């Protein structure tokens, strides 16, 4: 089993979460979450780069540009994507319902959806569920929310830390969902992270963008970018004040990076049908872009991914992927490729000391690192992926049935 149990999720002062079963897709399954923020909170967010972005993404972007949020509304079971102008009206109607209950502007509500694309949002069920979710608001509601936002995930995903900054405790807690349609530029994922720190909105956005670049934009299950991706970071301002270019802010940024990496890796560990967690590290490239180009060519290769599923040390597939990554003037004599500690390629071919026994010992592990040393420059990049199994095909073939 690649997945890990949900850790303790520390409450964040000033943020409450309420969850209910609204029968959006499956009766009696928790599928609707409302989060509320105390006045004075600020939010940062990043969204999918898919041009066919979902209605809630359009509305959330619009609302966030107008004012800081008071509430977040999240549903699973329906993506409200590919639904045209009607989908946007439905997303706004749901925001209006939350706003009426909470006594705030509709623009202070951010909507998020995940699930099947192309079907009308079941607004009636959501409107009926909103009061029930609000009635269950609780600072301790993180675990319930983590379960309620799942789609094909098999386990809830969360991470939480308390850090000491100049004698004051700062909490960062986050949850995420995602298991398939995972590719950088976000993924088919939603992530919600909060802190009790007091941070300006611009600095908070810089922190989140940097953290996402090191985490959620460094994972891939299948190379597909979703229509609904979003990651939100809320700072409730109930705790320590942090300012850019200070040691305390640097500590906070490091902790946020760690939270995002934990959540991103949890998505890969729960990748649809995944049986192996794979790190692809490309070192000594001329630029970060070429390192990522090589890494993703390996990670997206169906031949590499199926060999990983089979536990087959078919190193030729990795070599071929590196060779077709499109790196100009690649010096094959300098290139080295490793499976964990075992060198499989050097001097333009199979490493002289490589044996199938050594390769098989690595491939029998559930966690594997494919390391490529380009010997071209000072840059290195790491991404995380998984294998491609029979179950991945089955899950996605039967997704709407």
How many CB atoms lie under 10 A from the CB of residue 189? 28
| Residues in CB range of 52: below 8 A, 6 or more apart | 81, 82, 227
d(CA 332, CA 375): 10
Mark 347-379 as b/e (b = at least 16 C-beta within 10 Å).
eeeebeebeeebbeebbeeeebbbbbbbebeeb
Catalytic residue chosen out of the listed positions 36, 114, 188, 220: 188
d(CA 2, CA 276): 7
How many CB atoms lie under 10 A from the CB of residue 28? 7
Residue 227 annotated as catalytic: no
Instruction: State the pairing for strand pair 379-386/42-47.
Output: unpaired
Instruction: State the pairing for strand pair 230-235/190-195.
Output: parallel
d(CA 272, CA 394): 9
Could you list the active site residues? Answer: 188
């Amino acid at each position: 089993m690649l997945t890990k149990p949900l850790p303790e999720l520390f409450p964040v002062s000033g943020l409450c979460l309420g969850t209910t079963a609204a029968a959006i897709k499956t009766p009696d399954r928790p599928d609707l979450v409302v989060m509320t923020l105390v006045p004075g909170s600020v939010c940062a967010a990043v969204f999918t780069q898919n041009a066919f972005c979902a209605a809630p993404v359009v509305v959330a972007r619009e609302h966030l540009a107008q004012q800081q949020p008071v509430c977040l509304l999240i549903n699973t079971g329906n993506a409200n994507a590919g639904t045209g102008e009607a989908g946007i009206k439905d997303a706004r109607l749901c925001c209006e319902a939350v706003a009426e209950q909470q006594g705030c502007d509709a623009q202070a509500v951010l909507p998020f959806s995940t699930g099947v694309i192309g079907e009308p949002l079941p607004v009636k069920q959501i409107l009926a569920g909103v009061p029930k979710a609000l009635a269950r608001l609780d600072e301790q509601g993180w675990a319930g929310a983590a379960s309620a936002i799942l789609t094909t995930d098999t386990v809830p995903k969360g991470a939480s830390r308390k850090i000491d900054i100049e004698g004051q405790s700062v909490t960062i807690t986050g949850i995420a969902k995602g298991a398939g349609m995972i590719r950088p530029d976000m993924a088919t994922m939603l992530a919600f992270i909060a802190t009790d720190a007091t941070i300006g909105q611009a600095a908070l956005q810089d922190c989140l963008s940097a953290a996402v670049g090191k985490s959620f934009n460094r994972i891939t299950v299948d190379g597909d970018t979703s229509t609904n991706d979003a990651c939100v970071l809320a700072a409730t301002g109930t705790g320590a004040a942090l300012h850019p270019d200070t040691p305390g802010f640097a500590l906070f940024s490091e902790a946020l990076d760690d939270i995002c990496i934990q959540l991103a890796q949890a998505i890969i560990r729960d990748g649809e049908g995944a049986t192996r967690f794979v790190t692809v590290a490309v070192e000594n490239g001329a630029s970060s872009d070429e390192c990522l180009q090589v890494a993703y060519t390996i990670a997206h290769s169906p031949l590499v991914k199926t060999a990983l599923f089979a536990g087959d040390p078919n190193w030729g597939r990795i070599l071929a992927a590196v060779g077709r990554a499109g790196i100009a003037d690649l010096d094959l004599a300098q290139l080295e490729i490793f499976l964990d500690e075992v060198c499989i390629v050097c001097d333009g071919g199979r490493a002289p000391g490589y044996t199938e026994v050594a390769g098989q010992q690595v491939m029998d592990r559930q966690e594997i690192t494919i390391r490529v040393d380009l010997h071209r420059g000072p840059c290195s990049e790491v991404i995380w992926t998984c294998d491609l199994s029979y179950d991945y095909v089955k899950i996605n073939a039967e997704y709407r049935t």
